Amino acid sequence: MALHDAKLASNTDGHASSTHNSDDVHGDVKSYVIGFILSVVLTAIPFTLVMNGDLSKVTTIWSLVTLGLVQIWVHLKYFLHLNFVTEEGRANTFSFLFSALIIFMVVGLSVWIIYESNAMMMY
């Protein structure tokens, strides 16, 4: 706390000094525009694949899953700004992945318990 107060007192405009650039953490307009364009393209391609129906069912499903995973990556990189370049980026990424794992386990195990309970009651 004393270190924070010393930094605050030494700064002339009354704001605590920061060691990181806010543009590095929050991104810029270019990053958001690139993310938006990629998201629109990665939404339009699966929509077109499904509406045309030219590919087999298995190929369409695998294409949708692949493009969905790419779109998840685009959202994480361009909108949530998760990366492994900085120490803070690694910590944020691991926090996000841990939270996703916990949510996946809670939802997945809940569905499994409900399904098994239903199966036991039917026999």
85-91-93 Cα angle (round to 5)? 75
Return d(Cα 83, Cα 26) in angstroms, integer. Answer: 12
Question: If you average pLDDT over residues 48-67, what whole number do you get?
Answer: 95
**pLDDT over threshold 50, residue 123:** yes
Amino acid at 23: D
Contacts of 61 (CB under 8 A, 6+ apart): none
The single residue listed with the structure tokens 């069912």 is 57
Return d(Cα 89, Cα 85) in angstroms, integer. Answer: 6
Which one has a higher pLDDT value, 55 or 89?
55
| pLDDT for res 86 | 85
pTM reported for the whole predicted model = 0.63
